[in-house]
Amino acid sequence: MTKKAENRKNRCFGLDIGLEIWAFRFITSIILFIPVEILESLLNWVSSGEFGAITTANLLAAGILRIVVVGFLAFLISLCYIAIELFAYIGLCDDILNNRKTGIFQEIGRGLNALVYLGSPFGMLLLLYVVIIVPIIGIGFSVSLTENIYIPTFISSVIKAKPIFAVVYYGLGVVLFLITVIGVFTLHGIMLDQKTPKDAAMASAKIVKANLQDFLIRMTKILLRILCVVIVFLMVTNIIPTELLSVKGVDLPVGYHVDLANFLGDNATELDGKVVLYRVACATWLLLGRYTFFVVEIFTSSYLLLKLTQMYYTYTGKELQTVAPRKSKRGHHRYIIRFSLIYVFFAVCSVLLGVFFEEITDYRDTSITAHRTGGLLASENSLDGIIKAAEYGCAGSETDIQRTKDGEYIINHDTTFMRLCGVDKKPSEMTLSEIKKLRSKDTTGSGEMLEVPTLEKLLDTGKGKIKLFLELKGQTADYQMVDDVVAMVKSKDMVDDVVLISLNYAAINYAEETYPEFETGILIFGGVGDLRKLNCDMIIMEEEMTNTTTVNLIHEADKTVGVWTVNTWEAMYHFLELDVDTVITDDIKMAFEVKEELANRSDVIKMRDLVEGMFD
């Protein structure tokens, strides 16, 4: 066979491979859903207990046994994902390259069998690395279960704010990146050569070291090809259609209201028909385009894994074996039928999205809450921050309360006064008179030195101007703090102006049971179980754990939802559109700019955002 004929054969073979990979991903995602749903149901049942959920706010009170069981169930769920999404996938690539034709269940069986090699300390470490570390650094193969995991913003912001922490943070990132590169063939060694995780990792390091130049050249070419494909399809399926649809709809009014009763009856106007037809067209192009891009993402990731598997064979000196022709006797008609059914389904969805567009895209008017009284508008936890937040239009102002040595209450975020006042003492180690002598530096950089505010002055400043989110902070956040703060708030007739919040569930549970007239909220940055059963009025979640499903479930329980601390344009855009009740942020100006942009979106941009949200 000539070289040209061989190339033609390989190109035709590529279509078979692409369709087979798509079918594998489609079917295994359905298969994976069943055991994961069972395990997640068990996990939620075990974690429910007295509180309804195990969160970062009540972790210690949940009990060691329950935490261990929850951890074990989470471990089993992770194993399911690794077996099917990684090991079975590598097995499929192996069979494709060796021209073996096997079924999906055989591939899954191979993946499950490979799990036995993870039953060692090094195997557990590898599991942790794949499930947690790889998604955080954004390099390497991981599982969809944790693909969106990242270091919480409130932690990363503290790290990046201190030079020494930032150096360690980025240095560690470089080290983890290098570990990922030299360990790139570890899973292949486990799956294809039945090596132990430790032996597979060492073998991978030797392979990369021995073939470093060739490996880097090949990987660069592969990644450039993938990048080009992604850019082209992103243009074709998203950017160009959005621009063309924007031009097409330029003559239609923005925010036009179509009365569905009239439209579905006999009273629709010509403009009603044009607007609805335009919305259906937007939904059709964007939805089908987004699914096409989703398929392209599957193909590109599969192409990368195929090439890595091919390199593994090359670098280990093994020969690929042709056992039998892979081409299905039934041709491509099964895949074409599946694709067609999916696109028909999306076409029907497009009609529904277009007709019920206003109902679907009608989002909650989310309020803005200033972090540490005024965010970036004023110095951290200052009285001026409350005034400026109120003047800017914020609905709320969040602050931190701690108790002094003599039982008074002051405003301070950190455990000690070291960062702002240069005194390495806790509020609980100093009397109020001693604290009044301290001077806190202005965090806006003005050079001004400020007094440490008392709770009483803060309440007086905010009364009638803004809702105060009072975080009961640190080791002194106990029942006594709840009683004392409640008494002070009541004495100033400000019950409706205050929300009591804390990372300490016991304190909030006590406040909710003892003082039901007060609005309460729990701050959490992780949890499992039914969050709706937490005894509070508001659940304020860290960015990473806030999603559409969780928000909707909490709203069903007549609780409100907050998210903290949102300081980037992209995140603000996402959460303001997500129907949360309030967003806590430092960047007040940016938050209101995003709100304005959301309010002035055209129909095509609203539809684009809706479709993107469906695929998140």
**DSSP of 27-46, one letter per residue?**
HHHHHHHHHHHHHHHHHHHH
Domain shared by 348 and 385, yes or no = no
Query: pLDDT-based confidence at 74, cuts 50/70/90?
Result: confident
Query: Is 163 domain-assigned?
Result: yes
pLDDT value for 36? 77
pLDDT value for 323? 47
Query: pLDDT-based confidence at 112, cuts 50/70/90?
Result: very high
pLDDT value for 7? 44
- Tens of pLDDT, residue by residue over 28-46, are 888 888 887 787 777 777 6
pLDDT value for 188? 97
Are the beta carbons of 111 and 79 closer than 8 angstroms? no
Among 361, 388, 413, residue at a domain's last position: 361
Domain shared by 161 and 210, yes or no = yes
What percent of the chain clears pLDDT 70, i.e. is strictly above it? 93
* Mean per-residue pLDDT of the chain: 88
Domain shared by 372 and 345, yes or no = no
* Residue of higher predicted confidence among 26 and 206: 206
pLDDT value for 72? 84
Domain shared by 415 and 470, yes or no = yes
pLDDT value for 3? 47
Query: Is 597 domain-assigned?
Result: no
Query: Is 233 domain-assigned?
Result: no
Domain that holds residue 280: 242-361
Domain shared by 544 and 571, yes or no = yes
> Once rounded to an integer, what is the mean pLDDT over residues 376-382?
96
Among 317, 345, 361, residue at a domain's last position: 361
Domain shared by 131 and 268, yes or no = no
CATH code of the domain covering residue 412:
3.20.20.190
Query: Is 49 domain-assigned?
Result: yes
Domain shared by 97 and 131, yes or no = yes
Domain shared by 520 and 371, yes or no = yes
Query: Is 599 domain-assigned?
Result: no
Q: Which residue has the tokens 């990372």?
A: 503
Structure tokens at 449: 């030195």
Query: Is 226 domain-assigned?
Result: no
pLDDT value for 47? 66
Domain shared by 82 and 148, yes or no = yes
- Tens of pLDDT, residue by residue over 505-559, are 999 999 999 999 999 999 998 887 888 889 999 999 999 889 888 999 999 999 9
**3-class state of residue 370 by DSSP:** strand
- Model pTM? 0.84
> Once rounded to an integer, what is the mean pLDDT over residues 424-437?
96
Are the beta carbons of 400 and 473 closer than 8 angstroms? yes
- Tens of pLDDT, residue by residue over 336-369, are 777 788 888 888 999 999 889 988 888 778 999 9
- Tens of pLDDT, residue by residue over 478-499, are 999 999 999 999 999 999 999 9
Are the beta carbons of 524 and 509 closer than 8 angstroms? no
Query: Is 237 domain-assigned?
Result: no
Residue 288 CA to residue 41 CA, distance in Å, equals: 33
Q: Exposed e or buried b for every residue in 586-613, given b needs 16+ CB within 10 A?
A: bbbebbbebbeebeebbbbbbbbbbbee
pLDDT at residue 5 tops 60:
no
Query: pLDDT-based confidence at 313, cuts 50/70/90?
Result: very high
Domain shared by 143 and 286, yes or no = no
What percent of the chain clears pLDDT 90, i.e. is strictly above it? 58
- Tens of pLDDT, residue by residue over 77-91, are 889 999 999 999 999
* Residue of higher predicted confidence among 115 and 18: 115
> Once rounded to an integer, what is the mean pLDDT over residues 70-82?
86
Q: Is the dihedral of CA 130, 131, 135, 136 positive or negative?
A: negative
pLDDT value for 322? 54
Domain shared by 252 and 121, yes or no = no
Domain shared by 352 and 383, yes or no = no
Among 339, 361, 383, residue at a domain's last position: 361
Query: pLDDT-based confidence at 50, cuts 50/70/90?
Result: low
Number of domains in the chain: 3
Query: Is 231 domain-assigned?
Result: no
Lowest mean per-residue pLDDT among 54-58, 276-280, 330-334: 330-334
Residue 60 CA to residue 73 CA, distance in Å, equals: 19
